A and B are shown apart, each in its own frame.
Chain A
Amino acid sequence: MQKRFAAIWFRYLLTDRYTIREPALRDKPFVLASPERGRMIVRAANMRAEKKGIVTGMVVADARAVLPTLQVMDEVSGMSDKLLSALAKWSIRYTPVVAVDPPDGLILDVSGCAHLWGGEEAYIKDILTRLKKAGYEVHAAIADTAGTAWAISRYGEKGGIVEPGRQAEALFSLPPAALRLEQPVLQRLDKLGLTNIRSFMNMPRQALRRRFGQQLLTRLDQALGVEIEPIEPVIPIEPFQERLPLFDPVRTATGIEIAIQKLLEALCVRLVKEGKGLRVAVLKCFRVDGKLEQVQISTNRPTRNSIHLFKLFELKIASIEPDLGIELFVMEAPVIEDVSPEQEKLWNMSGSYNNVAVAELLDAIAGKIGAQGIRRYLPDEHYLPERSVRLAASLEEEPAIAWRTDLPRPIHLLSKPEPIQVTVPIPDYPPMNFEYKGKLHKVSKADGPERIEQEWWLQAGLYRDYYCVEDEDGSRYWLFRSGSYDKHEPKWFVHGFFA
C-alpha cells in the first residue's frame, strides 16, 4: 500500500505551553533558560522574543542586553519529551501510528487514514485548526516519506501536501538543513556554497560519501523514499484493532450499540480468518470534549462469536457516558488466543459441563456482576475440612485426586466454627446435650470421634475431635472439641449441618 506520512512541527512548543497556562504571557517576550557551565543559556524563546533577535543558545545576559524587559523562566528538564508524548497520544485519534520526533515534532503514519476526513487537505486542516485552537503554533505537511514531510513542514514555503512520488521536486529548493543533517556536515556544505538540495542532489554518490559521510546519503535516500525509514510508534500497534470514526458524534445508546456491532463484526471476521479468538476486548470511546471512555470485557475462553461478545458489551453500555457525543470508537483485542475448530466442536457437545454455552453464560455473569463470585471447587489433599476443598483455577481444571466419601462430611459447613455450651462426660464422649443459638439440643444419637490433627507446617493450634450428633428432633450436626481434657480446657464448636 502507498505509504503516506505527516510531519507536525511545533514551532514554539515549550513557550506555547507556558502561554497556554498563563495567557498573560502572550504579549510579552520571554525565554526559558537553564544553566550550563555557570551561565544561563536560552533554551527556548517565544515568538516576541525571537522577533527581537533572541534565539536559542544565546546567553541570558546577552539577551537581557538586547531586551531589558525580557522575562526569564527556568526550563524544566524533560518537559518537551513529556509534552510531545502527550500530544502524540492525543493524535492517536488521527491514526494508530504516531511517533515522537524530538525535540519538537511528531510524525504520523497516515496511510489509509486521510480519506476518513475527506481527503488529505481536510485531514491536515483538521489537525492544524485543532492544535492552533489549543494554542500551539504548528506547521504540518504530508508526503510519501517521513523525511520529505519533515522537510516541507519546517522549510516549505507554505507547508502542505506533496503529491505521491514528487518528493524530489518538493525538496529541490530547500536548504540542506531540511535533510536533518548534523551541524558539521551543514557547515561544510555551506562553506562549499551548496545552499540548496538541488545543487548536490544529482552529484555522484561516491563523491558525496567521501566528502560528507554516509549520513547525507542516508538522509537523502530516506527523504526520496529509496530507503525505508522506520518510525517508532508511541503506542505499539494493537494487532487486533478496529476503528470507527464518525462524522456526527453519537450520544444515544442505540448509536453506541450499532457502533459496537459494526466493530465486533469486523474484528470477528479477522479473528476467524486468522484462527484466533479473543479473551479480552476493550472499547475506547473518544469523546468530543477530549475525554476517553473505556469499557472492557473478558471471556472464559477464546471466542470470536460476535453475537456473544455483543451481549457482553451490551451489559456495559449503561456505564458509557457519551456527554456531548462520541466521535470515534476503537475496539481492541489485547489478549488473543488460538482456537482450533476441533475444540469448538467438542465444546458444543451437549452434556459437557464446560461447553461454549455455559462459558458464554459465565462471561455474561462475570461481565455484569464480577468474576470473583463465580467459583468451582476441587478436592485438595488436606484433612482439615476448610482446606479439603480448593478453588479451581479455571473452568476446565479437572480434579487431580478423587473426592473422599469414606468419612462423614456435612452438606453445610460454617465458614467459621461457632462456639457452643455442652454437657459432656469426659474424656472422650460425645456431648449429652448442647446449647446452640439459645436452644438446648438433647443428643440422642452420635458417631465419632474422628480426630483431625492440625497441619503444623501450615498453622499452629489444637487438634479437633469431630462428632456427628443427632438431636431428639432429628437435626444432625457436626460438632468438634478442640484439644483434650487432660491438658487444656477444651472448647466445643458446631462446624456444620448434615442433611
Chain B
Amino acid sequence: MNTTAEKNNIIRDLEREILSLQGLVKRSGTHPLDIGLGSIENAFPNQTFPVAAMHEFISYSREEAAATNGFIGGLLGKLMHHGGACLWIGNKRTIFPAGLKNFGIDPERIIFIDLIKPKDILWTVEEALKCSALAAVVGELTELNFKESRRLQLAVEQSRVTGLLHRYNPLVENTVACVSRWKIQPMVSEAADGMPGVGWPRWNVQLQKIRNGKPGSWQVEWTSEGFSVKSRPLMRFEKFELLQTG
C-alpha cells in the first residue's frame, strides 16, 4: 500500500513530466528569470513566469489601458534587465517614454513602431516575435482570432521571445493561444504613513487564465523597489467559473 506522501510524489513527478512534454522545461544552465511578482509566481507552472510565451492583457477604458501598460512596463523592466531591445508595436501611440523610466526601463531601448492597419500590426508583431535578439515584444491589437494567435505562439516557441499582447476594447474575449490572460484595473492608492496625496500606483491584477497554473486575483503596488503584492489571492476561480471564462 502506498502512503499519501508517496502518492503525492508520484503525482508531482507526473505533473512535471506533463509540463516538460508541453514545452515548459526548466532550461539547464540558465537561471530562471526573476520577474519580481512575489507570491503571484506561485500561480505559474514551475513557479516561474513563462517567458517564450504569449501573454494577453485586456483593457476596456483609457484608465485601465494606462494601468495595464504600467504593469506591462514593470514586467518589461525585468525582461529587459539582461539587455536586449524591446519592440512596442501599436496603432496609436499613447505611451509617454519619459513615464516609462519610473518602471525601471531605459526608454531609449524601446523601439516604437506605429502603424495604421491592424493587418500590418499583426505582421510586424509576428516578424518581431521571430527575432530572437529581442527581449520582449509588446503588441497593441484590438482583435485577434485563434488562428492568428497560433501563428504568434509558434513564432514565440522558436525564438523564445516573450510576447505581451495588449488588447484594448476587444469586441469579444475570444479564446486565443496565449498562455495567460490578465486584466489590470487601477485601485485606490495609499500614500505611505497616511500622508495626503497620491501614493504608489496600485492595481487589481486578475490572472484570469494561465495554462497549467492557478488563476487568481491580487492587489499589486508598484513601488520604487518593484512589484509588491499586497494580499493573498482574493479568490480562487472555481471550476465552474473557469468554464464560464473559457
Q: Do chains A and B interact in one complex?
A: yes
| Interface set of A (CB-CB < 8 Å, partner B) | 350-358, 361-362, 364-365, 368-369, 373-379, 385, 388-389, 392, 398-399, 403-405, 409-414, 444-447, 468-470, 472-477, 496-499
Across the two chains, which residue of chain B brings its CB closest to A495? B96
Given A411-B100, A412-B95, A446-B198: A353 touches B115 (CB 8 Å cut-off): no
Smallest Cβ distance from A416 to chain B, in angstroms?
Answer: 12
Docked CA distance A36–B101 (Å): 78
Interface string of B40-73 (1 = CB under 8 A from A): 0000000000000000000000110111011101
Binds A, one of B121-129, B150-158, B173-181, B229-237: B121-129
Q: Name 19 interchain pairs, CB-CB below 8 A, sorted by A.
A: A357-B131, A361-B133, A362-B111, A365-B124, A368-B120, A373-B115, A375-B111, A376-B112, A377-B108, A379-B98, A385-B96, A403-B107, A404-B98, A409-B99, A411-B99, A411-B100, A445-B189, A473-B63, A477-B63
Contacting pair B69 A499 (CB below 8 A) = yes
Chain B residues whose CB sits within 8 angstroms of the CB of A353 once the complex forms: 83-85, 109, 111
Chain B residues whose CB sits within 8 angstroms of the CB of A409 once the complex forms: 96, 98-99, 101-102
**With an 8 A cutoff between CB atoms, is B34 at the interface?**
no
Within 8 Å by CB of A361, from B63, B66, B70, B128, lies: B128
Contacting pair A376 B84 (CB below 8 A) = no
Contacting pair A410 B66 (CB below 8 A) = yes
Contacting pair A388 B108 (CB below 8 A) = no
Contacting pair B134 A358 (CB below 8 A) = yes
Docked CA distance A365–B84 (Å): 18
Chain A residues whose CB sits within 8 angstroms of the CB of B113 once the complex forms: 365, 369, 373-375
Chain A residues whose CB sits within 8 angstroms of the CB of B83 once the complex forms: 350-353
Within 8 Å by CB of B96, from A410, A445, A474, lies: A410
By Cβ-Cβ distance, the 6 closest A-B pairs, closest first, are: A499-B70, A351-B83, A353-B85, A413-B96, A497-B66, A357-B133
Across the two chains, which residue of chain B brings its CB closest to A386? B96
Residue of A398, A446, A475 with most chain B CB atoms under a 10 A cut-off? A475
Contacting pair B112 A411 (CB below 8 A) = no
Interface size class of B (residues with CB under 8 A): 35 or more
Main secondary structure on A side of the interface with B: mixed
Within 8 Å by CB of B94, from A403, A404, A414, lies: A414
Across the two chains, which residue of chain B brings its CB closest to A437? B62
Docked CA distance A32–B74 (Å): 80
For chain B, residues 132 to 156, give those with C-beta under 8 angstroms from any C-beta of chain A: 132-134
Contacting pair A499 B98 (CB below 8 A) = no
Contacting pair B94 A354 (CB below 8 A) = no
Docked CA distance A473–B97 (Å): 26
Chain B residues whose CB sits within 8 angstroms of the CB of A392 once the complex forms: 108
- Cross-chain pair count, CB within 8 angstroms: 174
Chain A residues whose CB sits within 8 angstroms of the CB of B202 once the complex forms: 474
Within 8 Å by CB of B97, from A351, A352, A377, lies: A377
Contacting pair A405 B197 (CB below 8 A) = no
Given A358-B85, A409-B99: A368 touches B123 (CB 8 Å cut-off): yes
Chain A residues whose CB sits within 8 angstroms of the CB of B201 once the complex forms: 476, 498-499
**With an 8 A cutoff between CB atoms, is B227 at the interface?**
no
Contacting pair B66 A405 (CB below 8 A) = no
Contacting pair A499 B73 (CB below 8 A) = yes
Chain A residues whose CB sits within 8 angstroms of the CB of B67 once the complex forms: 499
Contacting pair A412 B66 (CB below 8 A) = yes
Contacting pair A369 B96 (CB below 8 A) = no
Within 8 Å by CB of B84, from A351, A374, A378, A473, lies: A351
**With an 8 A cutoff between CB atoms, is B15 at the interface?**
no
Chain B residues whose CB sits within 8 angstroms of the CB of A472 once the complex forms: 188
Residue of B63, B98, B106, B134 with most chain A CB atoms under a 10 A cut-off? B98
Within 8 Å by CB of A470, from B101, B108, B120, B189, lies: B189
**With an 8 A cutoff between CB atoms, is B11 at the interface?**
no
Chain B residues whose CB sits within 8 angstroms of the CB of A389 once the complex forms: 96-98, 107
Contacting pair A411 B66 (CB below 8 A) = yes
Smallest Cβ distance from A242 to chain B, in angstroms?
Answer: 28
Smallest Cβ distance from B30 to chain A, in angstroms?
Answer: 13
Smallest Cβ distance from A77 to chain B, in angstroms?
Answer: 50
Docked CA distance A362–B67 (Å): 29
Docked CA distance A469–B98 (Å): 19
Smallest Cβ distance from A381 to chain B, in angstroms?
Answer: 12
Chain A residues whose CB sits within 8 angstroms of the CB of B134 once the complex forms: 358, 361
Docked CA distance A357–B100 (Å): 25
Contacting pair B97 A445 (CB below 8 A) = no
Interface string of B195-215 (1 = CB under 8 A from A): 011110111000000000000
Within 8 Å by CB of A375, from B102, B114, B120, lies: B114
Docked CA distance A447–B128 (Å): 40
For chain B, residues 183 to 200, give those with C-beta under 8 angstroms from any C-beta of chain A: 185-189, 191, 196-199
Chain B residues whose CB sits within 8 angstroms of the CB of A369 once the complex forms: 113, 115, 120, 124
Chain B residues whose CB sits within 8 angstroms of the CB of A475 once the complex forms: 63, 186
Chain A residues whose CB sits within 8 angstroms of the CB of B222 once the complex forms: 499
Across the two chains, which residue of chain A brings its CB closest to B68? A499
Chain B residues whose CB sits within 8 angstroms of the CB of A379 once the complex forms: 98, 107
Chain B residues whose CB sits within 8 angstroms of the CB of A405 once the complex forms: 101-102
Contacting pair B189 A474 (CB below 8 A) = yes
Chain A residues whose CB sits within 8 angstroms of the CB of B203 once the complex forms: 499
**With an 8 A cutoff between CB atoms, is B82 at the interface?**
yes
